[in-house]
Structure 1
Amino acid sequence: MDAVALRVPAGEAPHAGEGREIVGEGTPEAAWRSWRGLAQLSRAGLDELVPPGRRTVIVAPHPDDEVLGAGGLLSALAERRREVLIVGVTEGEGSHPGSALWHAKALAARRGAERSEGLQALGLAAGIDRLGYADGQLASDIPGLARRLGETLRQDDVVFATWACDGHPDHEAVGQAAARACAARGARLLQMPVWMWHWAQPGSERVPWQRAIRFELGDAALARKRAAIACHRSQLEADATRGAPPILGTAALARWLRPYEVFFT
């Protein structure tokens, strides 16, 4: 999940990105914790989200998005020895623009290794389908990405992709492309809010809370998710060569390390 420190462009419509700003530290986790709405969300267990015998496909715009959005779910799937495929849309080479520490090719290799370590920390031996799209450019070819995803999907897959209104242009493009691909193939789609927790406010009317499902994580699954996130060191370390703080800062991590995950149907 590459940080975007500006007002992000639209994915769905010419002005769809307005109000979804990824700047500063975002909405404090304390504000989310104090909002009763999260406690009142509908709950679903693993077999309700992914019925036995069906493959789980996680479509991640960048290495680490699968862990941030669904690391606890992946841990639970690994424990049950379920079939999982990770679709890595980009290699995340654009997360440190202008850095003298990380050049794009080396960063892509590093992030790929971090992804593998993170999945291992979850206990997951998942296949990874790397699509090789350029980081930061997904909104320019949503129909093409939808076709590529459609070639990968099975009719009975349960697909998790980043939310189509998440705030990051790559996340939104993936959400839209996945929706098209799932509709064409007849697969079930759930969307993962990743950046939403940053720009939205509790009770925001821009968020489809009526379609939100809460998946509870046990202590072991949460610990494995924490360990998996820790593998993404390139995103957790400051870059002194461009005076940039960690992309995955303390405030953001607090929102991703809750004892539950939320998905939109």
Structure 2
Amino acid sequence: MSDATALDFHALPLRPAAYAASLGPTAVIAPHPDDESLGCGGLLALLARAGLPVWCVLVSDGTMSHPNSQRFPAERRQAIREQELQAALAELGVGPQMLLPLGLPDGAVPTPDTPAGAAAVKRLTAFFRRTRPATVLAPWRRDPHPDHRATSLLVRVALAELEQPPRLIEYLVWAWERATPADLPHTNEAAGWRLNIEPVLAQKARAIAAHRSQLAPGVFDDDPMGFLLTESMLAHFQLPYEAYIEVTD
């Protein structure tokens, strides 16, 4: 990829909000609770406004944002984060019946070449066959977080099992500010576009705010070394557009 230029997310072609409806029934695959709102909350809200089915698959249990909390043991952290996700989805117009939690370990999402990963692929494949989405949203394959990369692998292997796989669109979370040059999508492998989400920007903001445990001052208050989204990170998701990548064959 050294002979190609990295895509400039802010300069990608801008598509109107109405373009969202062309994606049809859509499933978003989120490594952690909050990735769905950060990476594609605007798109999900536009799909729901258009009356299209939107499913969410939550890959990990979300417990490792505050692993040292004693007052909130792992089981309670998982329950709180899943409740936050349901609240965020409700802000975006997506009901709880459209959520499928896989419950894989946060910070250690398995890859398809492991027994746990192969089992997750089977569950994803069965989910895709049952729901038949026209489009699948997954993290950018080199998003700089191991759970995001593992999630991308699980999704791509599952889609390869289908006779007529849906369209795969990849969204950005950590690539906005943590990507090395090698992590970024390049012009010789991918095309990208931005989606105008201005009509639903307030909905996206409310969905992100629903993930209270990940925002200062937080919920899991006995783990001072736990993770919270920084203001600089959040600024990427307050823009009136979202960026998406489609890998070219």
TM-score w.r.t. length of structure 2: 0.81
Measure the CA separation in 2 of the matches of 1:157 and 1:180: 17
SS in 1 for 2:147: helix
Q: Which runs of 5+ in 2 are unaligned?
A: 1-6
SS in 1 for 2:122: helix
Equivalent residue number for residue 215 of structure 1: 195
Measure the CA separation in 1 of the matches of 2:18 and 2:122: 29
Aligned residue pair count: 226
Q: CA RMSD in A?
A: 2.3
What is the percent sequence identity of the aligned residues? 33
Residues 1:148 and 2:123 aligned together: yes
Residues 1:135 and 2:106 aligned together: yes
Q: Which has the higher contact order (CA 8 A, sep 6+)?
A: 2
Equivalent residue number for residue 166 of structure 1: 143
Residues 1:129 and 1:240: Cα distance change in structure 2 (over 3 Å): closer
Measure the CA separation in 1 of the matches of 2:72 and 2:229: 16
Equivalent residue number for residue 29 of structure 1: none
Shift of 1:249: 1.6
Residues 1:143 and 1:241: Cα distance change in structure 2 (over 3 Å): same
The 5 Å alignment of 1:43-192 reads: 43-45=14-16, 48=19, 51=22, 54-125=24-95, 127-140=98-111, 141=114, 142-154=117-129, 157-185=134-162, 186-192=165-171
| Paired amino acid for 2:150 | A
Residues 1:236 and 2:215 aligned together: yes
The 8 Å contact of residues 182 and 188 in structure 1, kept in 2 or not, is answered as: no
SS in 2 for 1:139: coil
| Paired amino acid for 1:216 | N
Equivalent residue number for residue 4 of structure 2: none
Shift of 1:129: 1.1
- Bigger shift: 123-132 or 140-149? 140-149
| Paired amino acid for 1:163 | W
Alpha-carbon displacement from aligned partner over 1:45-76 (angstroms, at most 9, x marks no partner): 46655536x32000011111111111000110
Q: Which runs of 5+ in 1 are unaligned?
A: 1-35
Residues 1:39 and 1:108: Cα distance change in structure 2 (over 3 Å): closer
- Bigger shift: 233-242 or 189-198? 233-242
